[in-house]
Chains A and B, each alone.
Chain A
Amino acid sequence: KQEVTQIPAALSVPEGENLVLNCSFTDSAIYNLQWFRQDPGKGLTSLLLIQSSQREQTSGRLNASLDKSSGRSTLYIAASQPGDSATYLCAGLGPGGYNKLIFGAGTRLAVHP
């Protein structure tokens, strides 16, 4: 059974720091990987999607990479801002075209001024 671990569970940093959030899968056979952001009381906002043929994706200050051989993904946030404060979730899609996303528990990020 696929399980997803996100480290750290919580992170509090001053504004301006570069951050690394980690995600690992017990089964490295990942087809797609998606990173989401969730603000308190809100839905999930898709940040980045790494498809099966890709190894990384970038959007603004965010960069996500996926190492399929180890089943690990990293979300890099450059020059963090207070507006980045949220919970970040990674989710993996298994092979075979089945669209079942398996979610990690998330990393709760607080960026203070």
Chain B
Amino acid sequence: DARVTQTPRHKVTEMGQEVTMRCQPILGHNTVFWYRQTMMQGLELLAYFRNRAPLDDSGMPKDRFSAEMPDATLATLKIQPSEPRDSAVYFCASGLNGDEQFFGPGTRLTVL
């Protein structure tokens, strides 16, 4: 049963701390997306990778957020330093050649 996995599922941290979220895309998928979901803004695209290359990170606050794909089986989203306004659910999704996107269960981040 191929699924996108994300760790951790929940994270509570204090303002100023570094947060790293990890995603394992479905094996064989060549596109990876990071989304953020909040009650106020809904779902927003933060970053997009194709064949491990970053193609769009215009939705991401550049000064504190960074996204990477060290290899085809791992994508990371890092926030440093974290702020209370970063509290949200962060989803990773993967797909093949830009068709159907499959979402992971999300990481619920709370920054105190």
Contacts and interface: CB of A to CB of B under 8 A. Distances in A.
A42 B102 contact: no
Given A99-B33, A100-B45, A101-B45, A45 B103 contact: yes
A46 B100 contact: yes
B1 interface: no
A32 interface: yes
Nearest to A89: B43
Contact of A43 (B56, B100, B105): B105
B106 interface: yes
Task: Tell which of A36, A44, A46, A91 has the most Cβ of chain B within 10 Å.
Answer: A44
Contact of A34 (B31, B33, B101): B101
B99 A42 contact: no
Contacts of A42: 105-106
Interface residues of B, number: 20
Given A43-B106, A44-B91, A89-B43, A99 B31 contact: yes
Contacts of A99: 31, 33, 48, 50, 95, 98, 101
Interface residues of A, number: 22
A44 B91 CA distance: 9
A100 B48 contact: yes
Given A43-B91, A44-B91, A89-B43, A101 B101 contact: yes
Interface in B18-63: 31, 33, 42-43, 45, 48, 50, 56
B104 to A, nearest CB: 6
A103 B35 CA distance: 11
A46 B103 contact: yes
24 contacts: A32-B99, A34-B100, A42-B106, A43-B104, A43-B105, A44-B93, A44-B103, A46-B101, A49-B99, A49-B100, A51-B99, A89-B43, A93-B98, A98-B98, A99-B33, A99-B50, A99-B98, A99-B101, A100-B45, A100-B56, A101-B33, A101-B45, A104-B42, A106-B42
